[in-house]
Structure 1
Amino acid sequence: MSVDLPTTTYYTRERLPEIRGTILEVYSEVYAADIAGDPFFSVERFEERLDGHTAAPGWACVVAEVGGSVAGFTYGFTGRDGVTFKLCENMLRAAYRGHGISRAMHDELMSHRREERSHLLVRRERPRLRALYERWGYRRAGELLPFPDAPLYDVMLLPLR
């Protein structure tokens, strides 16, 4: 399938009401199998995490559209140390994968950041996704269990400056 070039739009917390429904819709689709099998991935729990993330300083999001349809989004916020951007989500609907859209969203989001580095978490059982981030320049820096009922994640870091 050929996919048109994406259009990306950058959002800050003030514009969250415009895209909150889109974020939840894409999450529900991308995580459908996980939602059915693990309460940690329920839409309600995701909304709790989203509320926490959007309350943090420096929250921003990029939404990608292709031909007028939402392909995905990526978002994050400034960490407590003030020098780390915490990339929380980078979600792309299945039909749009393999066309560089996820990277385009990521790069657009990072182009607005002033932090020294980006930090993200990748589930241990997703080695192909970890390899993708490594191709983008991220390096594994450890592991983290962010919530007691969460899966184990690899911590990945990317220098931005």
Structure 2
Amino acid sequence: MTPRPELTFRRFDAAQARAIGDLVESLYLDAYATAIASGDEFDSVEQFMRRFEAYTSSGRGFDLVVAYTPGGEAVGQSWGWPLAPDTAWWGGLEAEPEPGFTAETGARTFALSEIMVRRAWTGQGIAHRLHDQLLAARPEARATLLVEADNDRAYRAYRSWGWRQVGRLRPRWEHAPTFHVLILPLPIPS
């Protein structure tokens, strides 16, 4: 069994995240090299950074966690934000799992948008640690995320971390695929 690498985790709000946009992009380039190389427009660096700019431009509680080695190398990142009452997140949902499911208050649901780890660092539990670091301080009652239907590895990981599928959704982003919608109840922070 491979020992867990020693890491430190640093949080960034929206303004701080925008200031390290080059780092965010370099982590994406490494972690998603295969997806980028596929030529799928949704996975292009330009589309990814356009979404990142949109996510961080509103401020609205954007929360980014970056994992660093003791030598200061950034090896992974995870981010999200609380869904506002006027959120477009649920647009494209095929069916509401239950009445009121998509009603947001700004404090009900945290949207976990990204978890990524540099290829050389995968398989060491870093994605799970980023997930836990990001969600540990969240005051929302639940979290949601979207996972591509054919991403079996990610889907298995999320299921093992307690997530459950509640539907399917195709976001309004240009060239977006259809995703599975997953939900995770969050503990009340102490």
TM range (shorter): over 0.9
Aligned residue for 1:119, secondary structure, equals strand
Contact 1:142–1:155, Cα closer than 8 Å, also in 2? yes
Task: Tell me how far 1:61 sits from its aligned partner.
Answer: 0.3
Mapping 1:15-30, distance limit 5 Å: 15-30=16-31
Post-superposition offset of 1:18: 3.9
Corresponding residue of 1:160? 186
Structure with bigger RCO (C-alpha 8 Å, 6+ apart)? 2
Gaps of 5+ in 1: none
Which whole-Å CA distance do the structure 2 matches of 1:153 and 1:96 have between them?
26
The answer to whether structure 1 residue 55 and structure 2 residue 81 are counterparts is no
Flag as ranges the 4+ runs of structure 1 deviating above 6 A.
Answer: none
Q: Is the 8 A contact 1:12 1:59 kept in 2?
A: yes
TM-score by length of 1: 0.92
CA shift at 1:3, angstroms? 5.6
Normalized per residue, the structure richer in helix is: 1
What CA deviation, in whole Å up to 9, does each residue of 1:131-158 have, x standing for no partner? 1001111100111111352122111110
Structure-1 residue corresponding to 2:75: 71
Q: State the 1:42 CA deviation.
A: 1.0
The alignment partner of 1:150 has SS state of: coil
- Aligned to 1:5, the other structure's residue is in SS state coil
In the superposition, the TM-score normalised over structure 2's length comes to 0.79
**Aligned CA distance change for structure 1 residues 135 and 3 (closer, same or farther; 3 Å):** closer
Partner of 2:32: 31
Conserved in 2, the CA contact under 8 Å of 1:84 and 1:115? Answer: yes
- Give the whole-Å Cα distance in 2 for the aligned partners of 1:135 and 1:23: 27
Identity %: 35
Flag the 1:55–1:135 CA change in 2: closer, same or farther, 3 A: same
Q: Is the 8 A contact 1:3 1:66 kept in 2?
A: no
Aligned twin of 1:5: 6
What letter is aligned with 2:76? G
Q: Distance in 2 between matches of 1:91 and 1:76?
A: 13
Q: Which structure's residues are more often strand, by fraction?
A: 1
In the aligned structure 2, how far is the partner of 1:32 from the partner of 1:127? 18
How far off its partner does 1:35 sit? Answer: 1.8
Give the root-mean-square deviation of aligned CA atoms. Answer: 1.6
State how far apart, in whole Å, the 2-side matches of 1:63 and 1:86 are: 17
- 2-side partners of 1:152 and 1:87: how far apart? 17
Cα displacement (A) at 1:13: 1.4
Q: How many residues are treated as equivalent by the alignment? A: 161
Deviations 1:19-48 (A, max 9, x none): 211110011112222223211111111111
